[in-house]
Amino acid sequence: MAKKLTDINDFGAVNLLDRITVAAEVTQPSTVKGIGDDAAVTDAPAQQHVTATALQLEGVHFDLTYTPLKHLGYKAVVAAINKIYAMNVTPAQIIVSAGLSKRFAVEHVDELFDGITIACKRYAVDIVGISLSSSLTGLALSITATGAAPKEKIVYRNGGKPTDLLCLTGNLGAAYMGLQLLKREKTVFEGNSHAQPQLEGYNYILERYLKPEAQKEVISLLDENHIVPTAMINLSEGLASETLHLCKQSGCGVRIYLERVPIAADTFKIADEMNLDAVVAALHGGDDYELLFTLPVTLHETITRELQGIDVIGHLTDVSEGAYLITPDNQAIALKAQGWNDDSQ
């Protein structure tokens, strides 16, 4: 027998807020006042504050047919705080806003905030504000993340210079292929409600889509080696699109060498199975939440020796030389921003 769910209206907004804030521990010294007042108060003397927001809309950014609410909460936090990491800043606080339709019960909100809380503990981030509202259709979830750092450590997209090395964390395309797998299994289920999803052996790409991780360790590694990138950008819309954003802001061209772009074996495997191109997924997929950044060419040896897990995939050029992808047989293909359409239905 299915467990009876608790109606939010019957439970009461005040009780619901009290319920979901129980686990909201304060860990950051910069948090002066968190949940419980009209606004949060933070303090970071001699530093600049950095703020970023990530919005998740049901039917646009996620499909609850195959996205557990717990995973959604976790991923929403990652999507927001990785933008802070992309400024070479460590996130410290988040504010959560959610719009909930009548089909969501108190237990559903519990599950969503379980994921948010787990992510906050993983990345030592405080929840300092929560705003809940009713929604006429579906679920809307917005996370605003903040952090602070000395002015000289903050990295923008516009600092890249010709000859700078183009560096990448992690591998690309796996999240996009995880989404394609989930879409395939949803289609099978819609055609036969008795069918069981065939997901065994695809743990890696599914995790990359449903529970990605932010680049906390990379920012720590750069700091430990006293390295401040010249430019940096969060990878959420695919390598091609984000590279062009960085180049436009920096006033540079670029050469990316395809053979240096890391793509996981699992990504190639499912791409072959589904008659898709893993390279296209890497270039134009999305939801990777890796970091793309530039460093002076003089640091090449340091990157190789000290920055494990970071690949040099190309270099910036003079803007007059354009933006190109170089294939293994030395063909130059103009880089185009096909982009990620946020369609997860």
User: 287-310: per-residue pLDDT in tens?
Assistant: 999 999 999 999 999 999 999 899
Q: Provide mean pLDDT across the span 3-29.
A: 69
Whether 8 has a pLDDT exceeding 60, the answer reads: yes
pLDDT-derived band at 345 (thresholds 50, 70, 90) equals very low
Domain count, the chain: 2
Query: Is residue 145 one of the residues assigned to a domain?
Result: yes
Let me know: does 211 contact 114? Beta carbons within 8 Å.
no
pLDDT-derived band at 75 (thresholds 50, 70, 90) equals very high
Residue 190's pLDDT is 76
Let me know: does 243 contact 166? Beta carbons within 8 Å.
yes
What would the pLDDT profile of 326-335 be if each residue is shown by its tens digit? 999 999 999 9
Query: Is residue 345 one of the residues assigned to a domain?
Result: no
**Residues 149, 165: one domain?**
no
Residue 224's pLDDT is 96
Handedness of CA 61, 66, 67, 69 (dihedral sign): positive
The CATH number of residue 118's host domain is: 3.30.1330.10
Domain end (from 153, 173, 194): 153
**Residues 35, 79: one domain?**
yes
What would the pLDDT profile of 100-134 be if each residue is shown by its tens digit? 999 999 999 999 999 999 999 999 999 999 999 99
Predicted TM-score (pTM) of this structure: 0.89
Query: How many Å apart are CA 246 and CA 249, to the nearest integer?
Result: 5
**Residues 216, 292: one domain?**
yes
pLDDT over 90, % of the chain: 78
Helix axes 203-210, 174-191, angle to 10 degrees: 100
Handedness of CA 119, 120, 122, 123 (dihedral sign): positive
Residue 197's pLDDT is 72
